[in-house]
Structure 1
Amino acid sequence: MSDTHYDIIIIGTGAGGGTMLDTLRKSGKRILVLERGTFLPKEKANWDAGEVFQKERYHNAEDFLDDRGEPFQPETSYWVGGSTKFYGAAMFRLRETDFQRVQHAGGVSPKWPLTYADFEPYYTKAEKLYSVHGKSNLDPTEPYRSAGYPHDAISHEPVIQELYDTLTHKGYRPFYLPLGIRLNEQDPLRSACIRCDTCDGFPCLIDAKADADVTCIRPALNDSNVTLLTHARATRLLTNAQGNEIKAVEVESGGSQRQFSADIVVVSCGAINSALLFQQSATDRHPDGLANRSGQVGRNFMKHQNAAIMALSRQANPTVFQKTLGLNDFYYGDKEFNFPMGHIQLMGKANKDMIGADAPALAPDFVLEKVAHHTTDWWLMAEDLPDPDNRIELRKGKRILHYKANNEEGFNRLRTKWKAILQECTPCDSTLDHTLYFGKTISLAGVSHQNGTMRFGTDPATSVLDLNCKTHEIDNLYVVDASFFVSSGAVNPSLTIIANAIRVGEHILDRMK
């Protein structure tokens, strides 16, 4: 067999590609994994907020253009493990209704071609693989489960526990965030995680975060049938003369072009870059990009409506590992607003350098440090709706991301509602008395939740991928990142990407038998 031919090629090592490798690695098939980056270095800067947030030390994506022609750099990075190296490891299942048609104030979230029941067994496998901690029957929107969480919920520190108790007393239903970290609170000496304050948004210096690199890629490298090639950027997918099969993957590596072939090619570059790879692989048979007879490649880009809110109190908040509490009471709306609003969760604890990344340049460090010691930090998320005009486009070699926010009324209500609830739940005799709020809506550069650019479905006229995430038009080409999403829901997408990669991986195993 040629040393450039494999049974399977996987392009990308993030939540989709890494999990796909874990699913296939014991098959005995020869697998080549291509990663345009390399292993993220272990260094003190991993836990340095100034380096990570202000200097953006690990953001290495190329510049894009917005639809006004203005350049920007997406807040994403090319490393083994992909975006999971920096994620907060919040591992949510989409709600059962997220797979159905949902009316929002700003439009309709369409029905998926599969249901929650189709994904449920794979969610269970995904939670086990990524060491998810949680507690059932607290979140009022939680879908049914065939098994409990594989690990106990991560405990709240005292200030957050008091807030949890107060919210519960007021009639709200907070819950423990489901988190994928390698923590053992019962036996700390056996715990990889030390509950530090540099988790959410940071690479983990001690490999305690259940990212795709630590969980899937490194263990697979012990298998003789697996080859990982780093600094290897897939530049084109080459088809046969009929245009119905990928005959080679063109790769830029070490300053030269190489080609590799495989019986099955799996693309998992992230929703933006996967769509770009398809577009830049256009041929006479596929003049608008591979598998794009529907015209849907690159369209319906979604990234959630996201905002960070820092609630400032006169009392200090000494919490270290803060990201443990969530609230979904307004996921479907409330009595005053009969449309979905979204999801609320704690962020990692802010410090002066994280605040300084968005503060005025002349703000002195001692002021930023004082502020950081008195905040409780929240992440609010709402669904943006699929819009064919929100798209990634390759034009004359330029990468253009067209995006206009939609469905904002519910999100704005959620922000107003949450500030009012925090004031209601933190009277002056409480540990925290939130009296001032500041924060930001996440800009176009914040694409960590990117999804939807190559939706799956049963109709080749309106979708790019079939129900097994194989392209309708090319028989050996699959996509397993968040490109396949039909809608975004209002919870973190990582677990759904992982569950789907397991589902598609098992299909590929059956196919190759």
Structure 2
Amino acid sequence: DRNIRLETGAHVEYLEASSDARTIAAVHYRQDGRLKKVTPKLVILSAGAVNSAAILLRSPSPNGNGLANRSDQVGRNFMNHNSSAMLAIDPRRRNTSVYQKTLMLNDYYLSDGKGGRPLGNVQLLGKIDGHILRANVKLAPKFALDFMAGHAVDWYLMCEDLPDPESRIMVDGKDIVMQWRRSNMQSLDGLTKVMRENFRACGYPIVLSRPFDKRTPSHQCGTVKMGDDPATSPLDPFCRSFDHKNLFVVDAGFLPNSAAVNPALSIAAQALRVADHIRKTELVA
């Protein structure tokens, strides 16, 4: 298509606002060691929750706070699901599945089953093998880890991480600094407890679990959130910047909360909604 030009090996460094700051005038990127720029009429930033926020924060602005950031919320409200791996092990039964991913349950999504707090989502993890276990339990003998993996049903427990303005992405020169404040760990503890009880009641004598730590990305989102009020949100409900009318940010950063499910389909649905909005409002002949 002659209307499309794809630049490969191009790393976007920052955006440049127009003289009146109402639009984005240029996108500056580095390619083959040279700094270049394009001057588009429309800018759609989709670099992911971490990098989209970093690009905006690095972009020059009169107050030094980055672009699209009148609300001072760009980079804030970073969320990353609280999650654990759980192995339900029965030494009497061998699990020969290659990749098990056909079962999930939301029985504890809205409450703990006893009228208490919401917990989260439970789904099959895939299939863990001895090599994966060895990376996390280095002192155990490999034959024992292979036996455990071969007799386990592997589960993924996922709980909501709540938005917190002090949980944030910042930039320090070329470096990205993450200050992640985990929240709602009580729900993960509660979900782990109730699922351990359930699996033991089902006849699995050994149930092991381990939370994923801060090194594990689990659906990072929330850093350029959408909302109705420009004083508290960088984006409107169609992901358009309140500050720069030709800028849209369309990735997981727009999510105002993380819920307790994989957000990929919600992100895709919102992207289609935004694309239709852009077609009707920006691309009218």
Whether the TM-score (by the shorter chain) exceeds 0.5 is yes
Residue in structure 1 matched with residue 246 of structure 2 by the alignment: 476
Residue in structure 2 matched with residue 271 of structure 1 by the alignment: 49
For residues 210 and 112 of structure 2, the distance between their equivalents in structure 1, rounded to whole angstroms, comes to 24
- Cα deviation code 1:220-251 (max 9, x no counterpart): xxx44333322211101111111111111111
- Percent identical residues: 38
For residues 435 and 280 of structure 1, the distance between their equivalents in structure 2, rounded to whole angstroms, comes to 53
Q: Shift in Å at residue 371 of structure 1?
A: 2.0
Which of 443, 456, 459 in structure 1 is aligned with 2:213? 443
For residues 2 and 144 of structure 2, the distance between their equivalents in structure 1, rounded to whole angstroms, comes to 55
- Which amino acid is the alignment partner of residue 449 of structure 1? H
Q: Shift in Å at residue 397 of structure 1?
A: 4.0
Q: How does 1:299-338 map to 2 (within 5 A)?
A: 299-314=76-91, 315-338=93-116
- Which amino acid is the alignment partner of residue 31 of structure 2? S
Q: How does 1:170-249 map to 2 (within 5 A)?
A: 223-249=1-27
SS in 1 for 2:186: helix
For residues 335 and 488 of structure 1, the distance between their equivalents in structure 2, rounded to whole angstroms, comes to 22
Residue in structure 1 matched with residue 271 of structure 2 by the alignment: 501
Query: CA-atom RMSD, angstroms?
Result: 1.5
Q: Shift in Å at residue 346 of structure 1?
A: 0.3
Residue in structure 2 matched with residue 411 of structure 1 by the alignment: 188
- Which amino acid is the alignment partner of residue 394 of structure 1? V
- Which amino acid is the alignment partner of residue 39 of structure 2? S
2:118 corresponds to 1:340: yes
Q: Shift in Å at residue 499 of structure 1?
A: 0.5
Q: Name the TM-score, length of structure 1 as normaliser.
A: 0.53
Residues 107, 113 of structure 2: 8 Å contact kept:
no
Q: Shift in Å at residue 338 of structure 1?
A: 2.1
For residues 339 and 413 of structure 1, the distance between their equivalents in structure 2, rounded to whole angstroms, comes to 9
- Which amino acid is the alignment partner of residue 149 of structure 2? A
- Which amino acid is the alignment partner of residue 475 of structure 1? K
Q: Shift in Å at residue 396 of structure 1?
A: 4.3
For residues 396 and 263 of structure 1, the distance between their equivalents in structure 2, rounded to whole angstroms, comes to 28
For residues 352 and 336 of structure 1, the distance between their equivalents in structure 2, rounded to whole angstroms, comes to 37
What count of residue pairs does the alignment treat as equivalent?
282
2:119 corresponds to 1:368: no
Q: Shift in Å at residue 347 of structure 1?
A: 0.9
Residue in structure 2 matched with residue 454 of structure 1 by the alignment: 224
For residues 132 and 244 of structure 2, the distance between their equivalents in structure 1, rounded to whole angstroms, comes to 45
For residues 336 and 243 of structure 1, the distance between their equivalents in structure 2, rounded to whole angstroms, comes to 53
- Which amino acid is the alignment partner of residue 294 of structure 1? S
Q: Shift in Å at residue 391 of structure 1?
A: 0.5
Change (3 A) 1:230 1:358: farther
Q: How does 1:112-191 map to 2 (within 5 A)?
A: none
Q: Shift in Å at residue 296 of structure 1?
A: 0.4
Residues 222, 257 of structure 2: 8 Å contact kept:
yes
Q: Shift in Å at residue 337 of structure 1?
A: 4.3
For residues 229 and 368 of structure 1, the distance between their equivalents in structure 2, rounded to whole angstroms, comes to 46
Residues 226, 233 of structure 2: 8 Å contact kept:
yes
Residue in structure 2 matched with residue 349 of structure 1 by the alignment: 127
Residue in structure 2 matched with residue 289 of structure 1 by the alignment: 66
Q: Name the TM-score, length of structure 2 as normaliser.
A: 0.94
SS in 2 for 1:226: coil
For residues 490 and 341 of structure 1, the distance between their equivalents in structure 2, rounded to whole angstroms, comes to 8
- Which amino acid is the alignment partner of residue 336 of structure 1? K
Q: Shift in Å at residue 467 of structure 1?
A: 1.4
- Which amino acid is the alignment partner of residue 238 of structure 2? N
